[in-house]
Amino acid sequence: MEIIPAIDIIDGKCVRLTQGDYSQKKVYNERPLEVAAAFEDAGLKRLHLVDLDGAKAGTVRNWKVLETIAGRTGLVIDFGGGIKTAADVDIVFNSGAALATVGSVAVKDAELFVGWLKTYGAARFLLGADVREEKIAIAGWQETTDRWIYDFIREYMEKGIEQVFCTDVSKDGLMQGPSLDLYRDIIAEFPGLHFIASGGVSSMEDLDSLQKIGCSGAIIGKAIYEGRIALDDLTTFGLNYKR
């Protein structure tokens, strides 16, 4: 299982929110490059970079942070937050992202998103399927839709999407454990999917559990920043394991 650390950006700084609430913001480092470099030094290969300003504003804002990290590390970066137009997609790829993370557009404008899949290739997109009670949440989790997660994933797998990450918003930032039952059901429904779990990871035991149910990857944020999981522990976990 691939370990994917997360860096969330507001005003160019590394922050974390709790359950997507912008009023519950904690700044962990004012220099995201330092954080990314520490991840790379620990042997991690990938980075989940989220532009929270962009998610809120509806347009990419922190592309300079992406450009800096991509230019000065060898991390494979997926970048999301505020990607709403083809111009945003171009900025993200031109700034060094390997994958563009898209959620809201895939819900609100399927025709536009499918056009991107055809133009850039579906392999260059990571579909964000964030949920509250199995219904898709968008716009930085500020809006919950009536789209059932299973229908959402199925629709885009049929269009070529290979990688999906899912965050149970009710678990995010609370460090009370991930939504194992939900993730197990999704993996069972879509056995060919490269499924990445996100939200709630608080310990190495949580990572063991996610690996056992068949997750291809796990995104970790707050547990690292709060010292619940040490980078040395991740190094020994088996960073290059892939299902």
Catalytically active residues, by annotation? 8, 130
DSSP 8-state class, residue 46: E
Strand order in the sheet with 131-132: 131-132, 135-138, 143-148
Distance from C-alpha of 50 to C-alpha of 79, rounded to nearest angstrom: 6
Distance from C-alpha of 139 to C-alpha of 151, rounded to nearest angstrom: 19
Give the strand pairing for 143-148 and 135-138: antiparallel
**Which token pair is 192?**
């060919």
DSSP 8-state class, residue 82: S
* Residue type (1 letter), 171: K
